[in-house]
């Protein structure tokens, strides 16, 4: 009887210790994007990095529709942190731009600016599309609903004198754009992601593709009007069959969070990111562009106090 009682006491102690450990563990999620883009692999790597270097914290990365949808998730307090384009994040926070008919999401806060996201406009050679003007009357995938890609597509088309009404559009994500281009179900598609992005690589592997350039005069005007856009080039040879550099627009990718997230926790996550950032370069080519020097690039929303404290400590801000 004494042995049974002793065993019960030991089991109770073990269970109590285990439950105490679970209670002390904190859980945070990062809303990313589709599996065919850059958000998803980098989000997974960042989640693992933070989990490994912040004691008592478990971080997971979740797929999603990205940018606008991610801002909405934080606005509804359905997720703690997310990746989002700098332009759409600012519009969501201020209810301006293409989101001027929405309510401002005032609980958005910044943790870090990560890397430039390049807007790929791609078409199959069989479609005959070589310019943005050629998209008129074509079937075009413009990104998932409420995604930054869909916002980029609308803005770029409008700047070039076109609208969604001028073509047959489908709100589909990176992977669906890839699948439908490969199957010949659409002529062209938009993908906003850090290059090289896996969905574009997949298309170029089995189909001859064209990366459609932006008109330089139009793009330069757009950059002046919208400060969160920048003019860039997709390098020659980045994708199979693309042998010349292609003029394109880009916008920074941000890591953002809910204003109510614990400042100490955000401080620790920010510190863990920048003290171990080299890990991300091993996961994706854009990882090498994630540097403290550009940690605030395109940050059009207030910093979270926890992140702000870290940047003050390292002298990035006064």
d(CA 120, CA 209): 12
pLDDT of 307: 98
pLDDT of 22: 47
Q: Is residue 131 part of a domain?
A: yes
User: Would you say residue 99 has pLDDT above 50?
Assistant: yes
Domain of 86, in residue numbers = 2-115+253-313
Q: Are residues 134 and 244 in the same domain?
A: yes
Query: Under 8 Å CB-to-CB from 86, ≥6 apart: which residues?
Result: 113, 228, 251, 252, 253, 254, 297, 298, 299, 300
Quote the mean pLDDT of the chain: 90
Percentage of residues in the chain having pLDDT higher than 90: 75
Q: Are residues 301 and 234 in the same domain?
A: no
Q: Are residues 225 and 76 in the same domain?
A: no
Q: What is the mean pLDDT of residues 278-302?
A: 91
Q: Are residues 69 and 139 in the same domain?
A: no
Question: For residue range 46-79, what is the model confidence (pLDDT) as tens digits?
Answer: 999 999 999 999 999 999 877 899 999 999 999 9
Pairing of strands 230-234, 188-193: unpaired
Of 213, 236, 251, the domain-final residue = 251
Q: Are residues 22 and 84 in the same domain?
A: yes
Q: Are residues 140 and 242 in the same domain?
A: yes
d(CA 104, CA 214): 31
User: What is the token pair recorded at 251?
Assistant: 């916008």
What string of H, E and C letters represents the secondary structure of 32-73?
CCCCCCCHHHHHHHHHHHHHHHCCCEEEEEECCCCHHHHHHH
User: Which among 126, 121, 141, 142 has a CA at the least distance from the CA of 218?
Assistant: 121
Among 11-25, 30-44, 135-149, 181-195, the minimum mean pLDDT is found in 11-25
| Residues belonging to the chain | 318
Q: Are residues 52 and 98 in the same domain?
A: yes
User: Would you say residue 5 has pLDDT above 60?
Assistant: no
Residue 53 sits in a domain whose CATH number is 3.40.190.10
Q: How many domains does the chain have?
A: 2
Q: Is residue 139 part of a domain?
A: yes
Q: Are residues 135 and 197 in the same domain?
A: yes
Q: DSSP 3-state assignment of 191?
A: strand
Question: For residue range 127-184, what is the model confidence (pLDDT) as tens digits?
Answer: 999 999 999 999 999 998 888 899 999 999 999 999 999 999 999 988 899 999 999 9
Q: Are residues 244 and 179 in the same domain?
A: yes
Q: Are residues 201 and 101 in the same domain?
A: no
Question: For residue range 192-227, what is the model confidence (pLDDT) as tens digits?
Answer: 988 888 889 999 999 999 999 999 999 999 988 887
Dihedral over Cα of 98, 101, 106, 108: its sign: negative
Among 7-21, 29-43, 247-261, 269-283, the minimum mean pLDDT is found in 7-21
Query: Are 173 and 167 spatial neighbours (Cβ–Cβ below 8 Å)?
Result: no
Q: Are residues 186 and 246 in the same domain?
A: yes
Q: Is residue 300 part of a domain?
A: yes
Query: Under 8 Å CB-to-CB from 198, ≥6 apart: which residues?
Result: 35, 36, 37, 41
Q: Is residue 318 part of a domain?
A: no
Query: Are 152 and 141 spatial neighbours (Cβ–Cβ below 8 Å)?
Result: no
Q: Are residues 139 and 183 in the same domain?
A: yes
Of 251, 271, 292, the domain-final residue = 251
Of 232, 251, 270, the domain-final residue = 251
Q: Is residue 95 part of a domain?
A: yes
The neighbour count for residue 113, using CB atoms within 10 Å, is: 20
Q: Is residue 159 part of a domain?
A: yes
């Amino acid at each position: 009887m004494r042995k049974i009682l002793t065993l019960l006491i030991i089991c109770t102690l073990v269970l109590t210790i285990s439950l105490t450990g679970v209670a002390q563990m904190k859980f945070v999620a990062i809303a990313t994007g589709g599996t065919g883009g850059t958000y998803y692999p980098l989000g997974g790597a960042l989640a693992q990095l933070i989990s490994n270097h912040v004691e008592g914290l478990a971080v997971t990365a979740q797929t999603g529709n990205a940018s606008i949808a991610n801002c909405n998730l934080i606005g509804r307090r359905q997720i703690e942190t997310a990746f989002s384009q700098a332009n759409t994040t600012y519009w969501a926070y201020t209810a301006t731009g293409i989101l001027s008919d929405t309510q401002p999401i005032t609980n958005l806060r910044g943790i870090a600016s990560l890397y430039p996201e390049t807007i790929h406009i791609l078409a199959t050679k069989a479609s005959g599309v070589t310019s943005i003007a050629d998209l008129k009357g074509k079937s075009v995938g413009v990104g998932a609903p409420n995604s930054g890609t869909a916002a980029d597509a609308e803005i770029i088309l409008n700047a070039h004198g076109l609208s969604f009404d001028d073509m047959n559009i489908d709100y589909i994500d990176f992977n669906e754009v890839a699948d439908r281009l490969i199957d010949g179900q659409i002529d062209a598609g938009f993908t906003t992601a850090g290059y090289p992005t896996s969905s574009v690589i997949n298309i170029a592997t089995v189909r001859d593709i064209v990366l459609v350039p932006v008109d330089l005069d139009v793009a330069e005007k757009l950059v002046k009007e919208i400060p969160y856009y920048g003019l860039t080039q997709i390098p020659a040879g980045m994708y199979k069959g693309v042998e010349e550099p292609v003029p394109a627009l880009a916008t920074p990718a941000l890591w953002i969070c809910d204003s109510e997230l614990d400042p100490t926790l955000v401080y620790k996550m920010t510190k863990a990111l920048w003290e171990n950032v080299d890990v991300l370069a091993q996961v994706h080519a854009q990882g090498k562009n994630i540097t403290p020097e550009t940690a605030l690039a395109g940050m059009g929303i207030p910093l979270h106090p926890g992140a702000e404290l870290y940047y003050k400590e390292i002298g990035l801000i006064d």
